[in-house]
Amino acid sequence: MANGTMLAENITDVAAASVTGMSVSDLAGSYLLGIALILVGGILISIIAKKVKLSNILLLIVFGLALGAVPERYPLFAFDGSFLISLGILTLAMIVFDGTSRFKIKDVDAISFLALKLVLAFTIVTMVLLTVFVLFAFGKGDVSWFAAAIYAMVFSIIMVGTDPGSVFVLLQNKKSKVIDLLKVEAIMNTPVMVLLPFLLLDIFATISGSTGSLLDLFVQYLPEILLQIVAGLGTGVVVGFVVIKLMRKFYSEELSPIALMVAALLAYVISDKIGGSGVLAVAALGVWFGNTYVREKSSLQEFSSHLSLSLEILVYVLIGVATFSTIPWGDGGFWLRAVLLYLVLFVCRMISILIVTKGSGEYTPKEKVFMAANMPKGIAVAVVVFTFLASSHDPYLGRLLSLTVVFMIFSLLSASIIDRFGDYFVRFSDEKQKDSANVA
């Protein structure tokens, strides 16, 4: 099937079941059946992944691709576009809130500072190098070079996101500065990777169709761009102030977790309605909540994590279903470009690591290679891709989103493989203690 297929239609036509003409009860039954099938399959796959010590994310995406391969004459379930977009926004809000609420300003230490430098370096290097190579590999398609550059930059920023916790199954009981650095990096790069793509596309949508030089357009639309940022931050702070005040006075073990979820959704929707960035609003709310005293904060954060888990299963599987028909499985040229571009991404990460660790002497060459190869894409990347899949009708962006799913698989495979040889690459704390004892 051609890459130009509209991705929103691909999701809506999951397993070829059309919702057109269905009664309300049939539609509800189809939704419930689909959700039940995905969750049951996802839970079983997660159990298997834990047993065999593999990333459940990788297996969930493969499960989704397998469902997407089911012939159209055998419909399994149907979801319409509005349901999928709503699911994407809900998951996005919860993931952004969960990630930003765990960022504690007071806990910033040497590793946190190094992780922040790595995030900034990796973002800048990838935005420059990978964007250029993506444009070279795929050209501009049917869009302008400016639009193609924006889409390629969005793809590059998405690739900055990492989720080491998803593959450290084999190394979860071992301690090392390398693993600590990668985990802190994952927390810090999530807001960057989630916010920038939406902000870029919002800016592109604002100036799209206008004429004039890039500088003139920037000056002309600067007020609208600033409105998105200020309104987003302001909404998040206001909603956070109100919710935290209420929680301090009227804390309820049963209702407070739900109120927190509602607050995240309200921040997103209100900001979006007044012209701000919904993602930025939720991020501001999360940072405010994470750095303010609230009773039983850890319990509230655990609730958001558990809720996110069920949403994650749905998103991972549906990404596989949605992109199966858009990935050119038999096109050798596509796969060659995908592999070469992934190598470019690896080089970008290696360059970033060499830059931020230059002169430190804390990390060996093997550990630097380990960090460079360990860039698995997790739920934050999946949610961004899923949201774009459900709402985008641009074939060029759709092709890059399909490539994103392929990169997710590559990254999870490479991280899983190198983690199995972690003892060769990384000096763990117990090994350092043994070496010290032998010297003594």
Domain-located, residue 143: yes
Residue 110: which residues within 8 A CB-CB, separation 6 or more? none
Distances from the Cα of 1 to the Cα of 65, 196, 197, 330, angstroms: 15, 31, 27, 10
Of 207-216, 295-304, 378-387, 391-400, which range is least confident? 295-304
Sequence length of the chain is 440
In terms of average pLDDT, the best of 147-156, 249-258, 421-430 is 147-156
Q: Which of 432, 406, 378 is nearest to 182 (CA)?
A: 378
Q: Which of 411, 374, 378 is nearest to 178 (CA)?
A: 374
> How confident is the model at residue 248, as a pLDDT?
82
Q: Is pLDDT at 174 greater than 80 in this prediction? A: no
Domain-located, residue 242: yes
Half-sphere exposure of 342 (CA within 13 A, CB side): 24
> How confident is the model at residue 55, as a pLDDT?
82
Q: What mean pLDDT comes out for the span 363-384?
A: 90
Instruction: Name the domain count of the chain.
Output: 1
Higher pLDDT, 205 or 269: 269
Q: What mean pLDDT comes out for the span 32-46?
A: 88
> How confident is the model at residue 311, as a pLDDT?
82
pLDDT tens-place string over residues 87-119 = 878 887 887 887 777 777 666 667 888 998 999
Residue range(s) defining the domain that contains residue 404: 94-310+330-439
Q: Is pLDDT at 154 greater than 80 in this prediction? A: yes
Confidence label for 239 from pLDDT (cuts 50, 70 and 90)? very high
Domain-located, residue 39: no
Q: How many CB atoms lie within 10 A of CB 100?
A: 24
> How confident is the model at residue 286, as a pLDDT?
87
DSSP 17: -
Q: What percent of the chain has pLDDT over 70?
A: 80
Q: Is pLDDT at 131 greater than 90 in this prediction? A: yes
> How confident is the model at residue 298, as a pLDDT?
66
> How confident is the model at residue 14, as a pLDDT?
43
Q: Is pLDDT at 193 greater than 90 in this prediction? A: no
Q: Is pLDDT at 34 greater than 60 in this prediction? A: yes
Higher pLDDT, 168 or 384: 384
pLDDT tens-place string over residues 352-361 = 999 999 988 8
Q: Is pLDDT at 18 greater than 50 in this prediction? A: no
Domain-located, residue 32: no
Contact assessment for residue 377 and residue 189, using Cβ atoms and an 8 Å cutoff: no
Q: How far apart are CA 154 and CA 163, in angstroms?
A: 18
Higher pLDDT, 414 or 194: 414
Confidence label for 6 from pLDDT (cuts 50, 70 and 90)? very low
Domain-located, residue 41: no
Domain-located, residue 9: no
Q: How far apart are CA 340 and CA 133, in angstroms?
A: 9
In terms of average pLDDT, the best of 177-191, 300-314, 340-354 is 340-354
Query: Tell me, what amino acid is at 384?
Result: V
> How confident is the model at residue 307, as a pLDDT?
64
Q: Which of 394, 334, 340, 335 is nearest to 133 (CA)?
A: 340
Distance of alpha carbon 90 from the chain centroid: 14
Q: Is pLDDT at 431 greater than 60 in this prediction? A: no
Domain-located, residue 102: yes
Q: For position 275, which CATH number holds?
A: 1.20.1530
pTM confidence score = 0.82
| Angle (deg, nearest 10), helices 145-158 and 395-420 | 30
Distance of alpha carbon 235 from the chain centroid: 23
Confidence label for 296 from pLDDT (cuts 50, 70 and 90)? low
Confidence label for 395 from pLDDT (cuts 50, 70 and 90)? confident
Domain-located, residue 130: yes
